[in-house]
Amino acid sequence: MTRTEAESADTPTRVAVSTVIFGLRHLPGSDATCVVLPLVRRTRDPHEGQWALPGGWLGERENLEVAASRTLAETTALAPSYLEQLYAFGDVDRSPTRVVSIVYWALVREDEMSSSQEGAQENVAWFTATELPELAFDHRLIVDYALWRLRNKVGYSRIAHGLLADEFTLAELREVYEAILGRRLDPANFRRQVENSGTLIPTDRFRTGSHRPARLYRYNQDVELAERGPLEVR
Amino acid sequence: MTRTEAESADTPTRVAVSTVIFGLRHLPGSDATCVVLPLVRRTRDPHEGQWALPGGWLGERENLEVAASRTLAETTALAPSYLEQLYAFGDVDRSPTRVVSIVYWALVREDEMSSSQEGAQENVAWFTATELPELAFDHRLIVDYALWRLRNKVGYSRIAHGLLADEFTLAELREVYEAILGRRLDPANFRRQVENSGTLIPTDRFRTGSHRPARLYRYNQDVELAERGPLEVR
């Protein structure tokens, strides 16, 4: 990436927003689930042809979170139920012109993902988080940071709910944790920990199918999805 | 605060950085310690005469964290040992012109504070976090959010170290927690929890004085001050 003195003197700092959206996908022909995210193929320079996070410029009269939602909808047709600011990336050399990117991250449930996939947005594809192509700009660092935040947060919040339907079995909840943490968890230990946490409410319903019936649970709505402190009330 | 159509059409979005710096102060004539922070009195519009967070504009060829350190030094002469990005504030109406502020937060030890106080920076004063004056812009929301982050983080990281000398007694460490959390902690319980955490290393030295000698501890350097994940290696 090269930059001339003239170029950067002419271009003031611009503010962009980007969003890292995580979903889960069951791998066909296996019982493994993995974390996936949508990327957009760039159709212009810089980095034409490379994959990048969905995003765009901050509108003059647009709040940051609104801009994140708008650019996400425009590029991927996704409208995730949970959106949180991740970090502002602003290194001088992250782009040929000076761009400060305010990055959000979001989770989508499987039903929200498929509506986007049916829409078949041009230049959008879902990738497994552990098998990403080369990414434009510093987007690989951004994805790595978002994954780290996701793994951390799943330990101390009920954020896994953002990836599940309203009612779920303990096995389904465990699969979410396993996919995020990238390792298997002991089913009996997991059940004990979750039951002791007070975050789940058992329902009277059961999932039936090829396995023996499994009780459906839902999250206790009195516990915050993820505490955001004073920013909650904005 | 009013804004005309013409004004905002003329002014593109600008990027600023601000820093919330927390220190501790022993209240004279009491054994209580409280969280304090420095504010700068604005010498120009908007909000002339009101108190605001130290900060300034992002330089064209300046990384975000560098800008935070520079503007902090220029306004308060402080150079804290710990600086972390807090949040980007960018609501359309937070300032008469469009300003996105990338906010950092920092901790200073008592010895770092006093060098600033002796320097007697003009228009800078330290305030108790629970007794703030009216603040300019949305800086009150920013301080509230930073305080919330501080209280949260003290629970799961060794961030209290940023407010202590290299060696300290358990009573001194407890005072830091009490000041941040805003409540008294049971000394015996506190000692047990800290000793079980594995984050402290006892030294052979003792604090002597008017009380009976108290052992000095230091933090285990193998435990991160606060995990920052992939951003650590930048």
Tell me, what's the pLDDT at B162?
83
Domain map (residue ranges) of chain B: 1-139, 157-234
**DSSP state for residue A194 in the 8-state scheme:** H
* Interface probe with B: pick from A20, A100, A152, most Cβ of B within 10 Å: A100
**Alpha-carbon gap: B233 to the closest alpha carbon of chain A (Å):** 10
Tell me, what's the pLDDT at A226?
55
| Tokens coding A230 | 């004073």
Tell me, what's the pLDDT at A221?
74
Q: What percent of chain B has pLDDT over 90?
A: 61
Q: Does residue B109 contact residue B163 with C-beta atoms inside 8 Å? A: yes
Among candidates B63, B144, B148 on the partner chain, residue whose Cβ is nearest the Cβ of A92: B63
* Residues 58-77 of chain B whose Cβ lies under 8 A from any Cβ of chain A: 58, 60-64
Topology given in CATH for the domain delimited by A1-154: Nucleoside Triphosphate Pyrophosphohydrolase (3.90.79)
B contacts of A90 (beta carbons < 8 Å)? 15, 58, 63-64, 102
**Residue ranges in chain A whose pLDDT is less than 70:** 1-11, 114-120, 156-157, 223-234
Select the more confidently predicted residue: A75 or B118: A75
Among candidates A14, A63, A156 on the partner chain, residue whose Cβ is nearest the Cβ of B92: A63
* Interface probe with B: pick from A65, A83, A84, A87, most Cβ of B within 10 Å: A87
Distance CA A16, CA B33 (A): 42
Grade residue B152 by pLDDT with cuts at 50, 70 and 90.
confident
* A52: amino acid identity, one letter: A
Phi then psi dihedrals of residue A142, to 5 deg: -65, -45
* A227 and B CB contact within 8 Å: yes
* A87 and B CB contact within 8 Å: yes
CATH of the structural domain A157-234, one choice from 1.25.40.10, 1.20.58.100, 3.55.10.10, 1.10.10.10:
1.10.10.10
A contacts of B84 (beta carbons < 8 Å)? none
Task: Assess whether pLDDT exceeds 90 at residue B193.
Answer: no
Q: How many CB pairs under 8 A join A and B?
A: 88
**Mean of pLDDT values over B79-105:** 93
Helix or strand run (H / E) with residue A179: helix A170-181
**Alpha-carbon gap: A8 to the closest alpha carbon of chain B (Å):** 9
Least confident segment among A227-231, B93-97, B176-180, B217-221 = A227-231
Select the more confidently predicted residue: A215 or B228: A215
Select the more confidently predicted residue: B108 or A117: B108
Tell me, what's the pLDDT at B128?
94
Tell me, what's the pLDDT at B115?
53
Tell me if the domain spanning B1-139 has CATH number 3.90.79.10: yes
3-state secondary structure chain B: CCCCHHHHHHCCCEEEEEEEEEEEEECCCCCCEEEEEEEEECCCCCCCCCEECCEEECCCCCCHHHHHHHHHHHHHCCCCCEEEEEEEECCCCCCCCCEEEEEEEEECCHHHHHHHHHHCCCCEEEEECCCCCCECCCHHHHHHHHHHHHHHHHHHCCHHHHHCCCCECHHHHHHHHHHHHCCCCCHHHHHHHHHHHCCEEEEEEEECCCCCCEEEEEECCCCCCCCCHHHHHC
Tell me, what's the pLDDT at A6?
40
Average predicted confidence (pLDDT) for chain B: 86
Select the more confidently predicted residue: B94 or B220: B94
Tell me, what's the pLDDT at B2?
43
* A85: amino acid identity, one letter: Q
Grade residue B14 by pLDDT with cuts at 50, 70 and 90.
very high
Which residue in chain A is spatially nearest to B149 when comparing CA positions? A229
Task: Assess whether pLDDT exceeds 50 at residue B183.
Answer: yes
For the stretch B26-72, pLDDT in tens is 877 777 789 999 999 999 999 999 999 999 999 999 999 999 999 99
Contact criterion met (CB < 8 Å) for A141 and B64: no
Tell me, what's the pLDDT at A128?
94
For the stretch B89-100, pLDDT in tens is 999 999 999 999
Tell me, what's the pLDDT at A230?
61
Helix axes B139-156, B170-181, angle to 10 degrees: 140
A contacts of B87 (beta carbons < 8 Å)? 85, 231
A contacts of B227 (beta carbons < 8 Å)? 152
* A152 and B CB contact within 8 Å: yes
ipTM score? 0.85
Helix or strand run (H / E) with residue A170: helix A170-181
For A164-195, give one letter per residue: b (16+ CB within 10 A) or e: beeebbbebbbbbbbbbeeeeeeeeebeeebe
Tell me, what's the pLDDT at B226?
55
Tell me, what's the pLDDT at A120?
56
**Mean of pLDDT values over B193-204:** 87
